Amino acid sequence: MTSTIDPNTIGKPVRPRRHVRTLTGYLPEKDEEGRDKWPKGEEKVWKDGMRSLDKDVNDITRSFVNHVQTSLARQPYNIDDLGAYHAAALSTRDNLLVNWNDTQLTYTRKAPKRAYYLSLEFLMGRTLDNALLNLGLKDEYKQGVRKLGFNIEDILEQERDAGLGNGGLGRLAACYLDSSASQELPVWGYGLRYKYGIFQQLISPSGDQLEAPDPWLDNQNPWELPRLDVTYQIRFYGHADRLDDGTGRALWQGGQEVLAQAYDVMIPGYGTRSTNNLRLWESKPKRGFDLNSFNAGNYEGAVESSNSAQAITSVLYPNDHTWKGVEIEAAVVRVLVSGKGAMAYSVISFWTAASLADILRRFKNLNKHIREFPDYVAIQLNDTHPTLAIPELMRILIDEEDLSWDAAWSIVTNVFFYTNHTVLPEALEKWPVPLLEHVLPRHMQIIYDIVYLLPMKPRRAMLIQCAILAVEKKFPGDRDRLSRMSLIEEGIPKQVRMAHLACIGSRKVNGVAELHSELVRTTILKDFVEFEGISKFGNVTNGITPRRWLDQCNPELSALISKTLKLDKSVWLKDLTKLEGLLPFTEDKAFRDEWAAIKQRNKERLAHYVQTTLGLTIRTDAMFDVQIKRIHEYKRQTLNILGVIHRYFTLKNMSAEEKKKVNPRVVFFAGKAAPAYFIAKLTIRLIVNVARVINSDPDTKDYLQLYFLPDYSVSLAEVLIPASDISQHISTAGTEASGTSNMKFCLNGGLLLGTVDGANIEIAEEVGESNVFFFGHLTPAVEDLRYQHLYHPIPIEQKCPALAHVINQVAAGVFGDGHVYEPLLNTIRQSDYYLLTDDFDSYIAALAMVDEAYLDKDEWAKKSIRTTAKMGKFSSDRAINEYAESYWNIEPVIVEKA
Residues involved in catalysis? 421, 629-630, 635, 740, 744
Give phi and psi for 456, each to the nearest 5. -90, 160
The pair phi, psi for residue 262, each rounded to 5°, is -90, 145
Burial grade of 77 (CB within 10 A; 0-12, 13-18, 19 or more): exposed
CA 597 to chain centre: 33
What is the C-alpha radius of gyration for the chain, rounded to an integer number of angstroms? 28
Residue 201's beta-bridge partner residues? 211
- Cβ(286)–Cβ(259) below 8 Å: yes
713: helix, strand or coil = coil
Helix 822-829, helix 637-652: angle, nearest 10 = 100
Return the DSSP state at 568.
Answer: -
Question: Between the CA of residue 591 and those of 578, 585, 599, 746, 885, what are the distances in Å?
Answer: 17, 7, 13, 18, 39
Q: Tell me, what DSSP letter sits at residue 315?
A: B
Listing DSSP states for 248-301 in one string gives --EEEESSEEEEEEEEEEEEEPTTSS-EEEEEEEEEEE-SS--GGGS-TT-HHH
What is the number of other CB atoms lying within 10 angstroms of the CB of residue 139? Answer: 11
Q: Are 735 and 423 in contact (CB under 8 A)?
A: yes
d(CA 605, CA 494): 54
SS3 344: strand
Kindly give, in sequence order, each residue whose CB lies less than 8 Å from that of residue 889, ignoring residues fewer than 6 positions away: 113, 378
SS3 state at 545:
coil
**Listed residue (502, 227, 215, 216) closest to 352, CA to CA:** 502
The helix (H) or strand (E) run that includes residue 211 is: strand 209-212
Contact 141, 132 (CB under 8 A): yes
Report the alpha-carbon distance of residue 232 to residue 361 in Å, rounded: 11
Question: Which 3 state secondary structure label does DSSP give 138?
Answer: helix
Question: Which three-class secondary structure state does DSSP give residue 38?
Answer: coil
CA distances from 340 to 550, 634, 741, 824 (A): 28, 13, 18, 21
Cis peptide before 675 (omega within 30 of 0): no
Helix (H) or strand (E) holding 489: strand 488-489
Q: Give the separation between CA 741 and CA 720, rounded to whole angstroms.
A: 11
Closest CA to 186 of 891, 789, 759, 772: 891
Polymer length in residues for the chain: 898
Q: How many CB atoms lie within 10 A of CB 887?
A: 20
| Buried residues in 449-486 as b, exposed as e (16+ CB within 10 A) | bbbbbebbeeebeeeebbbbbbbbeebeeeeebeeebb
DSSP H helices in 57-115: 57-66, 81-110
Distance of alpha carbon 92 from alpha carbon 127, whole angstroms: 10
Distance CA 431, CA 323 (A): 11
The residues, ordered by sequence, that sit 6+ positions from 8 with a Cβ below 8 Å of its Cβ are none
